[in-house]
Structure 1
Amino acid sequence: MSEVARRRFLQGASVLGVAGVLGTGQASASSRYHWLSGDHHTHTQYSYDGMYTIEQQIRGALRHGTDWLVITDHGHASHEAHSVEATAADIKRAQRKFPQLLLWHGMEWNVPGAEHATLFLEDCRDEAGVLRDFERQFDWRLNGQEASSPANEKKALDAVRWLQTKIRNGTMKSALVFVNHPMRNGRVAPHELRNMRDLAPDIVVGMEGAPGAQGDGDPLRGPGGHRGGYANSPGSNSYAPYPAEAYKTYGGFDWMTAQLGGVWDSLLAEGLGWWITSNSDSHFNSRDTVVRVPEPGDQFDLTGKHLDPLDAGPPQVLPPYVDFYPCEFSRTVVGASRRTRGAVMEGLRAGRAWVSHGGLVDDLQFGVYASGGSATLGERLRVRRGSDVTVLVKARLATRPNSAGFIPRLRRLDLIKGAVTGLASLETLSTPHVKVERSYEPRWHYAVFTHTFRNVREPFYLRLRGTDGNRGAFEPQADTPGAANPWEDLWCYTNPIFVEVR
């Protein structure tokens, strides 16, 4: 069969037909996993700036198809003193009441010398006690180590070493850390990302490719809002080399992720895993009817908990109601070998995930294969120099209305290729060896695309991004303050696949 005929056949094939053509390739590899949608960055009444009960947050998440969820209330003196054990008790009750949801008790760590990060644990003895000890020792809201300085950056690395010790001594099986909204304040320098990754690549595994608070730039909220809450300009703790445009979102995604050949690509060019996610950062959710009740001004300081909110009736649209429920707008879809918390953590650690906004696609499968085998998201395909490597992309487009009431349309998928050039300077912000290798325009609800790299000689990685193209451009554009309705500019991204050549 000629290459043209083969491609036409694959494009018209059913899922079963594609699996038959590839044999042990990507189609069968993907079928080994449960693809589960979730969110690792959410808040409740146990955050100083939150509102929802844990059960309210869970019920909202389940309404939007959430399979896994991490509760990550902020580190804070009152939280450490009063909230951790109470949160643990509420989560244990919720785990019994909602067994269909994989639920964790995590925290949002105020990283010394940097920004926020999600932390959650696997199979931990005395989980509440470990989280509380970590917060007491290593959260900058408790110890005053907010400023960007070598001493505070060392404290952040000491925190990661502390987690490593807890794993080695059997206190817990594993831990995961994701850097949240990395460019909101510009406090996370590229050397901090690399230092934490290099110290503990099985713990500090990635960052939010897209922040929460996606409704903040919607004109409905009034003037001045910024999508993702990215309203900040450089400050005293910001990394000086970041340009002014780095403090914006692009189609809702962080500058580090959205810029072709930018910070994310510079990390991947080292040939090491660094994965992206997309989350709600849910505090007050757009158009919700739940409101915080009047309470004494020192309520949270004294108890570490806001009073239970009430359903007030009319939908709330003005700030602070700029977030969404988990999986209402943003979702991280993880390939898990089993429907368990440990398997979801393993999938996240492996980079076996893709992210989407606004229900842009129902399903997105991406793999590469050669005579030496196959690989999917986050994995490595090892081939001999001179081999051919074929890419298979399968996209199932949206066929049902999303949470905003319309069916989005995926207008383009880009296959992006980047060269693996080896370890870079700790301060590297970009790489020139990245390009859009090929673009696809889906024409049916289910689309299959292939592309073959002939006679490969050097290592590289591949990733996908897709867009609805509503802004008239297929490169992510900077979001305009006060005029960035998130539902009108939708994107999806995959984590990479590495091809190693020997």
Structure 2
Amino acid sequence: MRIFPWLPIVALLALPSAAHAAEPDAGRAWLAGDHHVHSEWSVDWDRSTSPPTPIRGGDSPYTRTRNAQQALANGLRWMVHTDHGGPGHSAVTRDHAWPALQEARRQVPSLIQFNGMEFDVPAAEHASLIIAPGPDERDQLVALERDFSRNEPLPPATRDDGAQMLAALAYMRTLPSPPLMFINHPSRTATGVGQWGEVEPAELRAWHDAAPQVLAGMEGAPGHQAAPQHRGLYRNAAAPTFGGFDQMTALVGGVWDALLAEGRRFWITATSDSHVNVRDGGRDFDPGEYSKTYVWARHDATDVMDGLRYGRMFAVTGDLIDALELRVHTVGRAPRSAGMGGTLSVPAGTPVRVELRVRQPTHSNAAGQRPALHHVDLIVGQPGVRDAPRMQVKRFTPEDWKTDGPWRSVSWQMQVPADGMFVRARGSNTPDATPPADIPDEDPWQDLWFYANPVFVEVPR
């Protein structure tokens, strides 16, 4: 597996606090959240004036407080407010969106609420930018938007240049509390399967190389899942979502697997991209209504960010599952193991056992349904030729798994190959062996999937 010179730095950043050093998982639980939510401060613009005048509620009618209330009602424990930018929008962020966040925090104190934005990526499209909580969180976001966001300059100035994104990441990685970034709907502008648009795999690699502790991953499942004609608003029929997930994630051996096979710690999430709910004539679900990203963390903003940064999370739609344990164990004396986002270092040929446990909810989802898990897949990848990792998939159905109340568990034993491997998992309520291409007018509640982030197994050199 590829070894990066920055991994020791990441390891230092990941060290638990003294209070949790002895038991780093003490107090942690699966906390559901959403990092892509719009409010009335995703403004429209009156471009007849100079500079353009922001129009409140242009892209969403909802207050930040309303979004937080809906998130809490849908079982979320954390959420990121991510409004669109635009010409001079950093002033809107400072003067309006920030006070609205403070009010939402006062009105919904039990929900962890992060300051953030949908960052206009120079020479690309969009990303969720998540600011670490602290005394500088307002000013940090304002400065990042003002100095780096693609759409911030007043016309005719432009920042639509790839070097600007690399400069932004280089700056972010130097901050005392670095923010997080996840690329949003990466294949929405693709023209076909494997035919990329505004986000290309080479760009993902360059951005990740520039600041791996900041650019942590991408939306595996984009929002807009209630859009009837184009699920996820992936409007090109030749480049749709697959089971509601972006092709970069959904296709085994695809872009995500190629990045993982290089040793990149690159994670996926699921979000709502909520603008206008389908009940109000829109094409979106509310935060947590359909898509959730579960993070293994304490109910603490810093630990939630730590879980997002280091891959202790899984993505799910329709409340198919609400807890997941994926671990790789050595077999024999003095067993060792690693879980999601972690790394197990063992010699080649070591026998290991992959164990997956998932829990089905005991309550109905927002559609009033309790979907049954049809199958789960354990997916193993190894380095191969660039963009073509070697993949294995082992499928398990109810005849294969052990049932313990709401829990389903499976295992797979193998030997570690000479060049190491990674292990991830997915599952569905459908009989589809692979996620099918999504078509107009399908019912998203009948096509549910979960995806686990990987465990890495590395062979010492």
TM-score by length of 1: 0.77
Q: Distance in 2 between matches of 1:32 and 1:391?
A: 25
* 2:209 paired with 1:214: no
SS at match of 2:434: coil
Question: Displacement of 1:152 after TM fit?
Answer: 0.6
Q: Distance in 2 between matches of 1:161 and 1:138?
A: 11
* 2:254 paired with 1:262: yes
Q: 1:412 to 1:129 in 2, by over 3 A?
A: same
Q: What amino acid does structure 1 have at the position aligned with 2:367?
A: A
Contact 2:375 2:395 in 1 (8 A): no
Structure 2 residue aligned with 1:20: none
Of residues 184, 188, 191, the one that matches 1:184 is 188
Q: 1:348 to 1:145 in 2, by over 3 A?
A: farther
Q: 1:197 to 1:432 in 2, by over 3 A?
A: closer
SS at match of 2:435: coil
Question: Displacement of 1:85 after TM fit?
Answer: 2.8
Question: Displacement of 1:140 after TM fit?
Answer: 1.6
TM-score by length of 2: 0.84
Q: What amino acid does structure 1 have at the position aligned with 2:225?
A: Q
Q: What amino acid does structure 1 have at the position aligned with 2:99?
A: A
Structure 2 residue aligned with 1:54: 64
Question: Displacement of 1:447 after TM fit?
Answer: 1.7
SS at match of 1:188: coil
Q: Which runs of 5+ in 1 are unaligned?
A: 1-27, 218-224, 234-244, 288-315
Q: Distance in 2 between matches of 1:103 and 1:375?
A: 30
1:419-447, CA deviations, whole angstroms, 9 ceiling, x for partnerless residues?
035xx7xxx5x324012034343574322
Question: Displacement of 1:367 after TM fit?
Answer: 0.8
Structure 2 residue aligned with 1:375: 338
Structure 1 residue aligned with 2:164: 155
* 2:302 paired with 1:342: yes
Structure 2 residue aligned with 1:19: none
Q: What amino acid does structure 2 have at the position aligned with 1:485?
A: D
Question: Displacement of 1:144 after TM fit?
Answer: 7.9
Q: Distance in 1 between matches of 2:318 and 2:125?
A: 26
Contact 2:88 2:152 in 1 (8 A): no
SS at match of 2:163: helix
Q: What amino acid does structure 2 have at the position aligned with 1:435?
A: Q
Q: Distance in 2 between matches of 1:331 and 1:196?
A: 25
Of residues 348, 357, 365, the one that matches 1:394 is 357
Structure 2 residue aligned with 1:462: 423
Of residues 390, 407, 423, the one that matches 1:433 is 390
Q: Distance in 2 between matches of 1:145 and 1:31?
A: 51
Correspondence list, 1:47-126, <5 A: 47-48=42-43, 49-77=59-87, 79-126=89-136
Q: Distance in 2 between matches of 1:145 and 1:333?
A: 40
Question: Displacement of 1:30 after TM fit?
Answer: 6.8
Q: Name the structure, 1 or 2, with higher relative contact order (CA <8 Å, separation 6+).
A: 1
Correspondence list, 1:270-349, <5 A: 270-287=262-279, 316=280, 318=281, 321-336=282-297, 338-349=298-309
% identical aligned pairs: 40
Q: 1:411 to 1:144 in 2, by over 3 A?
A: farther
Structure 2 residue aligned with 1:42: 37
Q: What amino acid does structure 1 have at the position aligned with 2:235?
A: A
Q: Distance in 1 between matches of 2:231 and 2:180?
A: 26
Q: Which runs of 5+ in 2 are unaligned?
A: 1-22, 44-58, 190-196
Which moved further from structure 2: 360-369 or 268-277?
Answer: 360-369
Q: What amino acid does structure 1 have at the position aligned with 2:209?
A: D
Structure 2 residue aligned with 1:474: 433
Q: Distance in 1 between matches of 2:75 and 2:123?
A: 36
Question: Displacement of 1:133 after TM fit?
Answer: 2.1
Contact 1:411 1:468 in 2 (8 A): yes
Q: Distance in 2 between matches of 1:76 and 1:116?
A: 12
Aligned residues: 409
Q: What amino acid does structure 1 have at the position aligned with 2:396?
A: S
Question: Displacement of 1:70 after TM fit?
Answer: 0.4
Q: Distance in 2 between matches of 1:215 and 1:146?
A: 36
Structure 2 residue aligned with 1:11: none
Q: Distance in 2 between matches of 1:177 and 1:454?
A: 35
Contact 2:185 2:246 in 1 (8 A): yes
Q: What amino acid does structure 1 have at the position aligned with 2:344?
A: L
Of residues 433, 455, 459, the one that matches 1:497 is 455
Correspondence list, 1:128-147, <5 A: 128-143=138-153
Q: 1:146 to 1:61 in 2, by over 3 A?
A: farther
Q: Distance in 2 between matches of 1:47 and 1:454?
A: 51
Contact 2:295 2:314 in 1 (8 A): yes
Question: Displacement of 1:89 after TM fit?
Answer: 1.6
SS at match of 1:420: strand
Q: Distance in 2 between matches of 1:411 and 1:146?
A: 54
Question: Displacement of 1:145 after TM fit?
Answer: 10
Structure 2 residue aligned with 1:250: 242
Contact 1:334 1:347 in 2 (8 A): yes
Q: Distance in 2 between matches of 1:339 and 1:431?
A: 39
